[in-house]
Amino acid sequence: MFIADKYDVIVIGAGHAGIEAALASARLGCKTLLTTLSLENLAMMPCNPSIGGPAKGHLVREIDALGGQMGIAADQTCIQFRTLNTGKGFAVQALRAQADKKIYQAVMKNFCENVDGLDLKQLLIENILVERNKIIGVEAETGETFLASAVILASGTYLSGRIIIGESIFDGGPNGQRAALKLSDALKNLGVELMRFKTGTPARVDARTLDFDKMEIQRGDEPPQNFSFMTKTPVKNLVNCYLTYTNERTHEILRKNLHRAPMANGIIEGIGPRYCPSIESKIIRFPDKERHQLFLEPEGLNTQEYYVQGMSTSMPMDVQIEFLHTIPGLERAKIMRAGYAIEYDCIDPLQLKPTLEFKTIAGFFSAGQSNGTSGYEEAAAQGLIAGINAAAFVKNFEPLILKRSESYIGVLIDDLVTKGTNEPYRMMTSRAEYRLLLRQDNADLRLTPHAIKIGLASPERQKIFETKRAEILSATQRLNEIKLTPSNEINQKLASLDIGEVHNAMPLAELLRRPNVTYEKLRTAFDLPKISAQAAAQVEISIFYEGYIKKQSELAEKLDRLENKIIPANVDYNALKNLRVEAREKLSAIRPRSIGQASRISGVSPADISVLLVWLESLPKLS
């Protein structure tokens, strides 16, 4: 055995999960190795050229609030910014941006190359080394062994990856990269349970062969928002996207060729994503739908490649070309990259603790699509938490476990390790019970205190956060201190601001509950402190939704009381005879950390939770 080097933490894979994991680990003082099949493809976006979207934009803001890198990189490299769901409440509004893929990769690679304590190596890891159920290192294809106290699996869709384009099938990772063919067997030899999932991507087409005049233009917001709370330079919209639709002729071609679809003829064995289905799946699932939206999105500023969002497919090439040419604006489209499906191995996330560490192998963590999720944002969020907790494991610090009531990241990880998943998991706002509390605009107020506590917040981030929080407190206090009493003078002042009259005594804050009243509108008229636009938005939202926020906060506090009831790790559930047999089996398999987590396990009833609570209360209290 040739021992090439020794590290505190080794990260396998340099996609969105691996990068956040490695950066967090190194920034927390661990000597870290980040391995990748190709240094040229660090932070590659093999699918859509975008970051954010419903719930995903929330995740990016949370990653940023915790000291992660994705939001900062997105602001530096994205070329169009749009806020979605603006016609709905603030809870579900989310930022989505088109990224320049190549520039994003270059920026992320530069970040990684300039962090002290972080090494990058182009390596194919083929084996995980374990002694006495504890990680000791990894073995590479080159024959090198690297020792480590902790290892993070962030292999994405590369584990035994198989590319499928019609009848053409070959081993490979996304975008024609190599697959990790031996690592799956190494994991199985360690007793890790694997699942087989599938995802896909549309064709990329040449912009020079598109007729944009036949499509609807999709412009970015003006002024655009940014992802990172650290971004000072305003972001800019540099490109447009375009909208077109499938039609009956498109659907007819697809129906005629369904027998050649790999998903229909048995070639594809893996389970695909329900919420991002292929176009052939849409035709089967929605036979009465007359058309489907397709967005033409540029892959970057210096390329003619456009991504056909909504047209994921693994159909044979002749079918791909034929149905693309039925779509308005794509009649002469030339395909630069074929649409394809990729099958890959991933782990069953029920094998993980809420820290993302394997229950049976100390120091072994997993993050990203290797945990059965889909999406860059879900991957990056898990990577950040895995990196933080791997560093905590090495340094014997308290791990970071985020609650469902304080973050979408908490919802994401809790869903995975408590409920598992039988398809590629996608984050959605509907998965969060308290989404009015978990808005994208207040991610820093919720999570930056964690970043400060664990040491991931730079002095600059801490200063920005504390200044904003102080502005919000000062302005809110002043709004509640100023009392309005009905008078001609007051009502004339309100009329000059185009605000309705007051007929009863009230604090000035009450005016912010009225439509179209802003903090800035009240500021000069009533001698309020000048604050940033971000702080003013927080003041307006918190006052306007105060009653709803209070109700959700009270419900969240009840949930937190159950989360704080920690279950001993060594409990023998089979000895608790008042539990139903199914509950004993589920609790023994998942081994929940708390009563709150136990209550969310399928097959564990409220009666079982009552039994657990009574048993927990009967235990001797530690002094």
Residues 6+ apart with CB under 8 A from 95: 52, 57, 60, 61, 81, 82, 83, 84, 225, 226, 227, 440
Q: How far is C-alpha 278 from the chain's CA centre?
A: 21
Query: What average pLDDT does the segment 353-357 reach?
Result: 98
Question: What is the reported pLDDT for 622?
Answer: 54
348 three-class SS: coil
What is the number of helices (H) and of strands (E) in the chain? 20, 22
pLDDT of res. 61: 98
**Angle between helix 56-65 and 70-77 (nearest 10):** 110
Largest CA distance in the chain: 89
Q: For residue 140, is pLDDT > 50?
A: yes
Which pLDDT does position 11 carry in this prediction?
A: 98
Mean pLDDT to the nearest integer, 256-271: 81
* Average pLDDT estimate for 506-516: 92
Classify 268 as helix, strand or coil.
coil
Residue 258 exposure: Cα atoms within 13 Å on the Cβ side:
14
Structure tokens at 274: 């329900």
Locate 285 and state its tokens: 């699932």
**Residue 291 CB: number of other CB atoms within 10 A?**
13
What are the tens digits of pLDDT across the range 9-66? 999 999 999 999 999 999 999 999 999 999 999 999 999 999 999 999 999 999 999 9
Q: Would you say 336 and 282 are in contact if contact means Cβ atoms under 8 Å apart?
A: no
The encoded tokens of residue 72 equal 């900062």
Q: Is the pLDDT of residue 271 over 90?
A: no
DSSP-assigned beta bridge partners for residue 206: 305
pLDDT on residue 594:
94
Report the pLDDT value the prediction gives residue 623, as an integer from 0 to 100. 45
Q: Cis omega before residue 223 (within 30°)?
A: yes
- Decide: helix, strand or coil at residue 285: helix
Strand order across the beta sheet in which 335-337 lies: 216-218, 241-245, 293-298, 305-309, 204-206, 335-337
> Cα(9)–Cα(406) distance, rounded to whole angstroms?
28
136 CB contacts (<8 Å, ≥6 apart)?
A: 129, 130, 147, 148
Task: Find the mean pLDDT for residues 359-364.
Answer: 98
For residue 10, which amino acid is it? Answer: I
Q: How far is CA 245 from CA 58, 248, 249, 289, 293, in A?
A: 28, 10, 11, 12, 5
* Percent of all residues in the chain with a pLDDT value above 90, rounded to a whole number: 89
Q: Hey, which residues does 242 pair with through a beta bridge?
A: 217, 296
Question: What backbone torsions phi and psi does residue 550 show, to the nearest 5 degrees?
Answer: -65, -45
Q: Name the token pair of 583.
A: 């509950």
Handedness of CA 355, 357, 363, 367 (dihedral sign): negative
End-to-end CA separation in angstroms for the chain: 49
pLDDT confidence of residue 263: 75
Yes or no: say if 361 and 135 are a contact pair by the CB < 8 Å rule. yes
Sign of CA pseudo-dihedral 100, 102, 108, 114: negative
Q: Give the mean pLDDT of the chain.
A: 95
Q: In the predicted model, what is the mean pLDDT of residues 381-405?
A: 97
Cβ contact 405:560 at 8 Å: yes
Please work out, in degrees rounded to the nearest 5, the angle formed at the alpha carbon of residue 94 by the alpha carbons of 58 and 420: 45
Contacts of 168 (CB under 8 A, 6+ apart): 316
pLDDT at 273 over 80: no
Inter-residue contact 3 to 145 (CB < 8 Å): yes
Tokens at 612, concatenated: 């657990």
Q: What's the pLDDT score for residue 318?
A: 97
**pLDDT of residue 267 exceeding 90:** no
pLDDT score at 176: 80
- Which amino acid makes up residue 53? G
CA gap 240, 253 in Å, rounded? 30
Show the domains of the chain with their CATH numbers: 2-200+344-454 (3.50.50.60), 204-343 (2.40.30.260), 459-554 (1.10.10.1800), 565-618 (1.10.150.570)
The dihedral built from the CA positions of residue 262, 378, 439 and 104, taken in this order, carries a sign that is negative
For residue 376, which of 138, 148, 59 has the smallest C-alpha distance? Answer: 59
Residue 40 backbone class (left: φ over 0; alpha: ψ -120 to 50; beta: rest): alpha
CB atoms within 10 A of CB 490: 14
For residue 342, the number of C-alpha atoms closer than 13 Å in the C-beta half-sphere is: 29
How far is residue 509's CA from residue 441's CA, in Å, rounded to a whole number?
20
Determine how many CB atoms are found less than 10 A away from the CB of residue 466.
12
Query: What own/partner pairs with CB < 8 Å and gap ≥ 24 does 249-257 have?
Result: 249/326, 250/323, 250/326, 250/327, 251/283, 253/319, 253/322, 253/323, 253/326, 254/279, 254/280, 254/283, 254/315, 254/319, 254/323, 255/283, 257/315, 257/316, 257/319
Percentage above 70 pLDDT, the chain: 99
| Residues in Cβ contact with 444 at an 8 Å cutoff, skipping those fewer than 6 apart | 61, 64, 65, 229, 465, 468
What is the mean pLDDT of the segment spanning 524-550?
93
CB 201 within 8 A of CB 47: yes
Residue 221 token pair: 């917001």
Q: Is the pLDDT of residue 179 over 50?
A: yes
